[in-house]
Amino acid sequence: MNTDIMTELIARVISMDFKSIDDIKNAGFVGFKKISSLISNNCKCVPKEKGVYMVLINKKHDFLKESTGGHFKGKNPTVPVQKLKSNWVENTVVLYIGKAGGIRSKATLNSRLKQYVSFGSGKPVGHWGGRLIWQLSNNNDFIICWKETPNESPEELEKQLIADFESKYYKIPFANLKR
């Protein structure tokens, strides 16, 4: 991994406040597609590279009593509404930060986001991370953006993004259930 490139990526991340889509664009994220668009075109616009991605909220929501997510291995992804409320983070557009690929995974942004939106559409797919998104109303209108990391570690960048988010909001993003 090129240390200069990683240092530059981390510097951009550290300056990000996670409050606006423009701020996230300035940090080098691209895509900014509605979940409904990714579902309808089967993620054809998403690159087949490793990287990190974020789910962003762009309209009001309500907490749903039941998840629209798939029951992977028969397990219901629904959590109590009180848990949703306690995980909520005010004053940010970022709901979830995820990764695709890395040392132990051959996944690409394309394959990982296909899994993610399929899971949210009720299919029994193995994308348990970020599942709280599917207990918010209007979730098909939420936006997904990504950053390719062909020469860097998606794990390290994801970890840095979550840590930086936590340093600003004193919580991890709403749908990230662990650091």
179 assigned to some structural domain: no
175 assigned to some structural domain: no
B/e letters for 12-43, b = 16+ CB within 10 Å, e = fewer, are: ebeebebeeeeebeebebebbbebebbbeeeb
Closest alpha carbon to 136 in 58, 72, 76, 75: 58
pLDDT value at residue 179: 63
Domain of 43 in residue numbering reads as 3-169
177 assigned to some structural domain: no
Number of domains observed in the structure of the chain: 1
176 assigned to some structural domain: no
pLDDT value at residue 10: 53
**Contact indicator for 131, 139 with CB cutoff of 8 Å:** no
174 assigned to some structural domain: no
User: What string of pLDDT tens digits covers the 179 residues of the chain?
Assistant: 556 555 555 555 556 889 999 999 999 999 999 999 999 999 999 999 999 999 999 888 999 999 999 888 888 999 999 999 999 999 999 999 999 998 788 889 999 999 999 988 989 887 777 889 999 999 999 999 999 998 889 999 999 999 999 999 999 999 998 76
Which residues is 56 bridged to in the sheet? 94, 143
pLDDT value at residue 130: 83
149 assigned to some structural domain: yes
